[in-house]
């Protein structure tokens, strides 16, 4: 029979899985408390990094409808619950893992879809949401400028053609 503390922990973890955009499982074996504190700071306000118990977290993930992570709940596990931009959090985890090889990214989930460690590294290589939106806006603005130039060119070309025809007719009329 589960104790009230364990039931509360499962409920809290289930809520964390449901309210986050993404969750990344990591192994933190060999990291000091100071290093974990540095990692939490690196993740910023976009993510909450929590050292968890495997059994309780597996139950909570299953209650949240996430079964893809079941095989990864082994060894010392911590979860980064991402509520902001998942790219920024993936970059923070990747960069921290480069400096601290004891942090191992196991797997994750993004909007209900399972991610492997390689997928998370690919996600970290993406540009941030703001940069991608700015590039999209720039591309759309460029296309609008091209369209405006094209629409402006058509009437002016028509006017030049009509003027050329008039000049040609005036020449032919004057030559007769």
| pLDDT (tens place) for every residue of the chain, 176 residues total | 578 888 888 899 889 888 888 899 999 888 889 999 999 998 888 889 888 888 898 999 888 888 888 888 888 889 999 988 888 888 889 899 999 888 899 999 988 888 888 888 888 887 767 777 887 887 777 777 777 777 777 777 777 888 888 888 888 876 55
The whole-number pLDDT of residue 81 equals 92
Angle between helices 54-63 and 4-19 (to 10 degrees): 50
As a whole number of angstroms, the distance between CA 66 and CA 115 comes to 12
As a whole number of angstroms, the distance between CA 162 and CA 158 comes to 6
92: closest CA among 47, 147, 137? 47
The whole-number pLDDT of residue 166 equals 87
78: closest CA among 38, 23, 35? 23
């Amino acid at each position: 029979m589960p104790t009230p503390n364990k039931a509360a922990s499962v409920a809290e973890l289930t809520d964390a899985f449901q309210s986050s955009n993404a969750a990344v499982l990591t192994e933190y074996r060999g990291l000091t408390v100071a290093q974990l504190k540095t990692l939490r700071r690196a993740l910023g306000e976009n993510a909450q990094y929590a050292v968890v118990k495997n059994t309780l977290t597996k139950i909570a993930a299953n209650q949240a409808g996430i079964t893809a992570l079941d095989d990864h709940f082994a060894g010392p596990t911590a979860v980064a619950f991402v509520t902001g931009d998942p790219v920024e959090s993936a970059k923070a985890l990747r960069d921290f893992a480069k400096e601290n090889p004891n942090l191992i990214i196991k797997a994750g989930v993004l909007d209900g879809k399972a991610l492997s460690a390689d997928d998370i590294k690919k996600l970290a290589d993406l540009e941030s949401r703001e940069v991608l939106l700015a590039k999209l806006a720039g591309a759309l603005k460029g296309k609008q400028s091209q369209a405006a130039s094209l629409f402006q060119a058509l009437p002016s070309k028509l006017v030049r053609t009509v003027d050329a025809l008039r000049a040609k007719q005036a020449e032919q009329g004057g030559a007769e």
